[in-house]
Amino acid sequence: MEIQVSGKDIVITHLQDFCLRDILCCGQCFVFRELAPDTFFGTAGGRALTVSQSGDTLTLHNTTPTDFEGFWRGYFDLDRDYAAVKRALCCDETLRLAVAYAPGMRVLRQPPWEALCSFILSQNNNIKRIQGIVERLCETFGEALPGGGYGFPTPQTLASLTVEDLAPLRAGFRAKYILDAAQKVASGEVNLNELYTLDIDDARRSLMRIKGVGIKVADCALLYGASRVEAFPLDVWMKRAMASLFPKGLPDCAVPYAGLAQQYIFHYIRCGVKGACEVGAEGK
């Protein structure tokens, strides 16, 4: 990986184990939309970004070295050795297939509040509609950013609102959960900064004090919002995948990176093999 500054762009060449489309479209974040093939625009951490990939070159447009080093480098998880992770996961044949299906998959390091909010909105919902709700949330209550688009509204902003205020989002029953999360985070009752260092069970329990946050949403907030790769979110897709592909449980070699393994498996069963989940499900 080599990083150069070219005008207002940051250009990364010789990038390994990185597929922008898989990373941004696999359902781990909902704030990027594709402007043109392999070119995406989105906002995170109060910054707007247009990013494109061509082969092993990734270009971050209209950003600065400060924003790159201070945010995007971490956001795209550029300093994790995915080759080593993939070698470890390939101890198991099924995991090997999942990794081979999307070898450029990565898990983003999103700001914890943004991940928490996003996955509260994800419950009993589909990815298309989640994207729409998040977009309306940012446009309605977020701050307009210099590079275009709107940032994620802060907990403080949302904490002062009512469910009626959130009606334009069409978030349904999830609106009250967003408000409870905002209030508990703004008041300090839930401290998102602790999620990085707390024992994983304590971190999960802390998040579950918020109404509408159960085990799955908490694990998503921990994995995507605090880089806790030992967290292993089990949604309806992953439950089907585990029943059919890993009836004896996740292989031991994957446990330290369960969350990363989860991302390969999730994408594999949703997009890779049509019918992979029905095979084992027929017997029950």
Q: Residues in contact with DNA, total (CB under 7 A)? A: 38
Say whether residue 168 binds DNA (CB under 7 A): no
DSSP, residue by residue, the chain:
-EEEEETTEEEEES--S--HHHHHHSSS--SEEEEETTEEEEEETTEEEEEEEETTEEEEES--HHHIIIIIHHHTTTTS-HHHHHHHHTTSHHHHHHHHH-TT-------HHHHHHHHHHTTT--HHHHHHHHHHHHHHHSPBPTTSSBPPPPHHHHHT--TTTTGGG--GGGHHHHHHHHHHHHHTSS-GGGGGTS-HHHHHHHHTTSTT--HHHHHHHHHHHH--TT-----HHHHHHHHHH-TT-S-GGGGGGHHHHHHHHHHIIIII-TTHHHHHHTT-
Residue choice 66, 124, 248, 282 for contact with DNA (CB under 7 A): 124
Q: Which is closer to DNA, CB of 144 or CB of 279?
A: 279
Residue choice 117, 220, 260, 261 for contact with DNA (CB under 7 A): 220
Residue choice 11, 208, 250, 258 for contact with DNA (CB under 7 A): 208
Least distance CB 133 / DNA (angstroms): 8
Q: Which is closer to DNA, CB of 58 or CB of 171?
A: 171
Residue choice 173, 197, 271, 278 for contact with DNA (CB under 7 A): 173
CA distances for 117 relative to 124, 166, 212, angstroms: 14, 13, 11
Say whether residue 213 binds DNA (CB under 7 A): yes
User: Which of 86, 184, 216, 274 is an active site residue?
Assistant: 216
| Active-site residue flag, 216 | yes
Q: Which stretch binds DNA (CB under 7 A): 3-11, 59-67, 154-162, 165-173?
A: 165-173
Say whether residue 237 binds DNA (CB under 7 A): yes
Subset of 56-115 contacting DNA (CB under 7 A): none
Least distance CB 41 / DNA (angstroms): 20
Say whether residue 216 binds DNA (CB under 7 A): yes
Residue choice 1, 170, 196, 281 for contact with DNA (CB under 7 A): 170
Q: Which of 22, 75, 55 is nearest to 268 (CA)?
A: 22
Say whether residue 28 binds DNA (CB under 7 A): yes
Say whether residue 264 binds DNA (CB under 7 A): no
Applying CB under 7 A, the residues found at the interface with DNA are 26-28, 119, 122-130, 132, 167, 170-173, 208, 211-218, 220, 233-238, 262-263, 266
User: Active-site residue numbers?
Assistant: 216
